[in-house]
Amino acid sequence: MRSKKIHFLLIIFILTFFYCAPKEESEVLPIYHCYKTSEEIIIDGNITEEAWEKAENAQFVDRDGSIPEQKTTFKWLWDDVYLYGAFHVEDNDIWATMTARDDSLWVEEVIELFIDADSAPKTYAEFEINPLNTVLDLYILNKYNNRKDLKQLWKWDCIGLKNAVKVVGTVDNRDDIDQYWDLEIAIPFDQIYTAPNVPPVAGDRWKIDFCRADRGKKRSVSTFWSPPAFHNPLSYGIFIFEAGK
Ligand SMILES: [Ca+2]
Ligand SMILES: [Ca+2]
Ligand SMILES: [Ca+2]
C-alpha cells in the first residue's frame, strides 16, 4: 500500500515538473550573449571601435543550418541608452535602389531585424536597412504567430535611431566585383515599447532574429540567425543582456 502511495506521489511529481518546467528553448534556439559596454561607439559604419572586439561574434546560416557562401557575421553591445549592432556582410554583388523610409526594402538586398522584447510573440518591432542606409521600421501585431491576419504599424518610426553603412564596392554598378558592406546601428531602448526594463537589467532575455536577403543575378538567398525567422517569432533566438566583461 505504502509502495503504491509512493508511486502515485512520484507520478504526480513528474507530471507537475514537466507541466511547469519551461520549454528547453536553449536546446533548439541559438543564444547570443550581449555584453554591456562603457566605451563610446560612433555610428559611422566603421566597426573598428575596441568595444566591438570584446563583443560575441555570431553568424547567419541557411534555412538548413549550413553556412552560406557569402557570410554574414554580427555583434551586439548595450549601454543605458542604446542597443548597438554591427553586421559584416560579404557580398560580391551589392545593390539597392530604394531611398525612402518604409519603402519595400525586402524586395532588394537588405538586413532585417526582428525584436520581440517581451518574448510575447504577438508583438514585435521590425527594422530593415539596405546598403544605401535606408530604413524601414514598423511594429507588428501578429495574433496567430504567422502571417495570418498580420497588422503592420508602418507609421511607427524609431525616434533617435542611428544607423550607418560602409560599402566596399559599388551599390549602383552590378558589372563589377564588390567585397562587403558593414552596418552599424544604435537602437534607443526607450523606443522599444514592449521592453520589460528600460534600460535592460543584466540577465534580461529578449527574443530576436536577423535575416539577410542576398539577391544575386541568378538566384536569391535568404539567410538567418535563427531560421525560419520573419514572422515566426517563436523561432527567434534568445538574446541575453549581460553585465560588462
Ligand atoms: Ca563605429
Ligand atoms: Ca548581393
Ligand atoms: Ca516606420
CATH number listed for the domain at residues 28-242: 2.60.40.1190
Q: Which residues lie at CB < 5 A from ion ligand 1? A: 42, 44, 46
Q: Residue 14 pLDDT > 70, yes or no?
A: no
- pLDDT band at residue 8 using 50, 70 and 90 as cut-offs: very low
Number of other residues whose CB lies within 10 A of the CB of residue 140: 19
State the number of CA atoms in the 13 A half-sphere of 13 facing the CB: 6
Q: Which residues lie at CB < 5 A from ion ligand 2? A: 91, 93, 214
Cell numbers found for residue 156: 511607427
In this structure, are residues 191 and 158 in contact, taking their beta carbons and an 8 Å threshold?
yes
Nearest listed ligand to the Cα of residue 213: 2
* Interval between CA 82 and ligand 1 midpoint (Å): 14
* Interval between CA 164 and ligand 1 midpoint (Å): 9
* Interval between CA 241 and ligand 3 midpoint (Å): 26
Q: Residue 5 pLDDT > 60, yes or no?
A: no
pLDDT at residue 25 in the model: 56
How is the chain split into domains, by residue range?
A: 28-242
Question: For the CA atoms of 143, 149, 155, 160, what is the dihedral angle to 10 degrees?
Answer: 40
pLDDT in tens, 224-242: 999 998 999 999 999 999 9
Determine how β-strand 180-188 pairs with β-strand 162-168: antiparallel
pLDDT at residue 4 in the model: 55
* Interval between CA 118 and ligand 1 midpoint (Å): 28
- Supply the DSSP symbol for 32: E
Q: Report the C-alpha gap between 177 and 169 in whole angstroms.
A: 7
Cell numbers found for residue 89: 556582410
Nearest listed ligand to the Cα of residue 161: 3
pLDDT in tens, 43-67: 999 999 999 999 999 999 999 999 9
Q: Report the C-alpha gap between 126 and 73 in whole angstroms.
A: 19
Nearest listed ligand to the Cα of residue 95: 2
